[in-house]
C-alpha cells in the first residue's frame, strides 16, 4: 500500500496549516518552499518540518500579547504589531464583522477600552478578561481573524519546535537514521527515493524504540539492555539541569517553559523537594482545543487543574495518570520496555523519595546503541549537518 505523505505549502496561512494537520490527525508535516516548486533538489524544495503544537502555542502567546496591548492602550507599549492588536483587540471587544476582519487601529482599540465599550460588550477592561474572551472560540479566531488568516507558515516555521529537512535515501544505512534521531536531535527523518526529492515515508524516534523492544532475545540487544542506566551514563543531564514545573503554576507558563528551553515535556513536581506528581508534554496543548472549558480559561488554569481535566477522558475521571519513572539502578531494557509499551517520549529518573534527578528521552536511548565515525555526515551528505541544524 502506498504511503501518502501530507505536506504544507510555505505560503499557506496558519489557519490552513491547522486545518490540514487537524483533518489528517497528524502532529507535524514537511513545509514546501513556494519559491522552489519545480526544483529537484530537496535542500531547495523544503523549508523544514512544522509542529502542530508550535502553531497552537504561537496563537496563545499572540492572544496574550494582544490582551496586554489592550490594557496598555498602545502597540508600542506591549511590543506588538498594529495588525495583531487591531484584529485581536476587535475580537475581545466583541466586534466580529467586517470591522474585525479589516482590523481596528490602535487608537480605536485604546479609545474603545478606555471609553467603556469593552465593558458594554461584556469583555471587561483588564487584560485577563480580554484574553479569556478571546479564547472562547479558538477555531473562529484562527480560521477567520487576523493575524492568523494572513500569517504564512514560512514566517513562523522557525519560532519553536522547527526541524530542518534532512532526509535519507531508501538505500541509506540505519546508522545515518539513528544519528539524526539521536545526536542531531531530529524527531523524525524523511525518507526519499534516490535521486528524487519526493518523500516516501518517515522514520520516527518512537518507531526505533518500538523496533528495539522487538529485538529482545537477540544476543547483541540483551547484552546491552541488561546494563543499569547509571553504568551507561544515563541520564545525561544532572539533577540541577532538569527543567520542571510546580503543580500550582499556570499551565501557560509550563508550555512557555518548554518553548524557552526547546524541550518537549516537563515533570510536574510538588513542594520544595520537587516530588514528582505528573508530566506535561507539549502535545498536551492540543487538549486546549478539544475541551472548550480548558481553552476559555487557559490564562487562569493551573497545571494540576489541567492534568485533572484532561484525564476525564479515562475510566477514572479526576485521577491524574502517574508519571512514567525509573530508578538509577533500572536496566536499559526496562526503560526501553516502559517507553515502548506506554508510547511516551521520556521517562523520569527518581530517587527513593520520588524526587526527579534526571530525564531519559527517546534520543538518549537510541544514542546508547551507536557511535559516529569521524566526519561521517560530511562525507556522506557532502555538507555539515551541524550548520544546517543551526540555520
- Say whether 269 sits in a helix, a strand or coil: strand
pLDDT average, residue stretch 213-231: 95
Tell me which of 131 and 277 has the higher pLDDT: 277
DSSP-derived pairing of the beta strands 346-350 and 356-361: antiparallel
Q: What is the CA angle 167-376-237, rounded to 5? A: 85
Reduced to 3 states (helix: H, G, I; strand: E, B; else coil), residue 278 is: strand
Q: What is the mean pLDDT of residues 320-330?
A: 89
Place of cell 528521552: 361
**What is the average pLDDT across 52-81?**
59
List, in order, residues 6 or more apart from 13 with CB less than 8 Å away: 148, 149, 150, 151, 152, 153
The per-residue pLDDT of the chain, averaged, comes to 76
Mean of the pLDDT values across residues 369-377? 85
The residues with which 246 forms a beta bridge, in sequence order, are: 269
- Intra-chain end-to-end CA distance of the chain, in Å: 36
pLDDT digits (tens, 9 = 90+) for 348-370: 999 999 999 999 999 999 999 99
Q: Which three cell numbers stand for residue 385?
A: 549537518
Tens digits of residue pLDDT in 165-193: 888 888 888 998 999 999 888 889 999 88
Q: How far is CA 75 from the centre of its chain?
A: 28
Cα R_g (the chain), whole angstroms: 23
Picking from 247, 287, 286, 281, the residue whose alpha carbon sits closest to that of residue 264 is 281
State the pLDDT at residue 362: 96
Predicted TM-score (pTM) of the model is 0.77
Asked if 62 and 68 count as a contact pair (C-beta separation under 8 A), the reply is no
C-alpha distances (whole Å) from 102 to each of 105, 135, 147 are 10, 20, 10
DSSP 41: -
122-142 pLDDT, tens digit per residue, is: 333 343 443 444 444 555 555
Confidence band, pLDDT 50/70/90 cuts, at residue 292: low
Q: Could you tell me the pLDDT band of residue 347, with boundaries at 50, 70 and 90?
A: very high
pLDDT reported for residue 256: 86
CA distance 240 to 144: 44
pLDDT value for 86:
43
The rounded distance, in Å, linking the Cα atoms of 24 and 10 is 18
pLDDT: which is higher, 273 or 302: 302
Q: Residue written as cell 478571546?
A: 134
Question: In a 3-state reduction of DSSP, which class is residue 218?
Answer: coil
Residue 147 clears pLDDT 60, i.e. is over it: yes
Run of H or E residues at 307: helix 303-310
CA dist 83 and 74 (Å) reads: 12
Nearest to 274 by CA among 314, 225, 239: 239
User: What cell was used for 329?
Assistant: 539502578
Q: Are 338 and 324 in contact (CB under 8 A)?
A: yes
Amino acid at each position: 500500500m502506498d504511503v501518502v505523505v501530507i505536506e504544507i505549502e510555505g505560503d499557506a496561512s496558519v489557519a490552513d496549516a491547522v486545518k490540514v494537520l487537524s483533518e489528517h490527525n497528524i502532529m507535524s508535516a514537511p513545509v514546501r518552499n513556494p519559491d522552489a516548486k519545480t526544483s529537484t533538489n530537496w535542500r531547495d524544495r523544503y523549508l523544514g518540518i512544522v509542529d502542530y503544537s508550535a502553531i497552537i502555542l504561537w496563537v496563545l502567546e499572540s492572544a496574550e500579547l494582544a490582551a496586554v496591548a489592550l490594557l496598555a492602550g498602545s502597540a508600542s507599549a506591549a511590543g506588538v504589531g498594529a495588525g495583531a492588536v487591531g484584529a485581536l483587540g476587535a475580537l475581545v471587544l466583541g466586534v466580529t464583522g467586517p470591522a474585525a476582519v479589516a482590523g481596528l487601529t490602535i487608537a480605536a482599540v485604546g479609545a474603545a477600552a478606555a471609553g467603556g465599550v469593552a465593558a458594554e460588550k461584556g469583555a471587561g477592561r483588564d487584560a485577563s478578561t480580554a484574553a479569556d474572551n478571546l479564547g472562547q472560540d479558538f477555531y473562529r479566531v484562527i480560521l477567520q481573524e487576523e493575524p492568523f488568516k494572513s500569517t504564512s507558515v514560512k514566517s513562523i516555521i522557525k519560532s519553536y519546535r522547527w526541524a530542518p529537512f534532512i532526509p535519507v535515501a531508501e538505500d541509506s544505512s540505519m546508522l545515518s537514521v539513528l544519528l539524526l534521531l539521536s545526536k542531531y536531535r531530529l524527531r523524525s527523518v524523511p525518507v526519499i527515493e534516490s535521486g528524487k526529492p519526493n518523500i516516501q515515508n518517515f522514520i520516527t524516534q518512537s518507531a526505533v524504540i518500538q523496533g528495539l523492544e522487538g529485538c529482545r532475545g537477540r544476543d547483541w540487544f540483551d547484552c546491552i539492555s541488561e546494563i543499569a542506566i547509571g553504568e551507561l551514563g544515563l541520564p545525561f543531564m544532572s539533577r540541577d539541569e532538569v527543567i520542571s514545573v510546580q503543580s500550582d503554576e499556570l499551565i501557560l507558563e509550563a508550555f512557555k517553559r518548554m518553548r524557552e528551553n526547546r524541550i518537549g515535556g516537563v515533570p510536574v513536581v510538588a513542594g520544595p523537594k520537587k516530588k514528582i506528581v505528573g508530566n506535561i508534554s507539549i502535545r498536551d496543548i492540543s487538549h486546549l482545543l478539544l475541551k472548550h472549558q480548558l481553552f476559555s480559561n487557559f490564562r487562569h488554569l493551573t497545571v494540576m487543574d489541567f492534568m485533572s481535566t484532561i484525564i476525564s477522558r479515562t475510566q477514572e475521571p479526576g485521577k491524574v495518570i502517574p508519571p512514567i519513572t525509573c530508578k538509577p539502578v533500572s536496566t536499559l531494557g526496562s526503560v526501553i520496555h516502559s517507553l515502548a509499551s506506554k508510547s511516551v517520549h521520556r521517562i523520569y529518573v527518581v530517587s527513593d523519595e520520588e524526587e526527579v534527578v534526571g530525564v531519559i528521552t527517546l534520543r538518549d536511548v537510541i544514542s546508547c546503541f551507536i557511535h559516529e565515525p569521524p566526519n561521517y555526515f560530511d562525507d556522506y551528505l557532502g555538507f555539515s549537518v551541524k550548520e544546517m541544524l543551526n540555520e
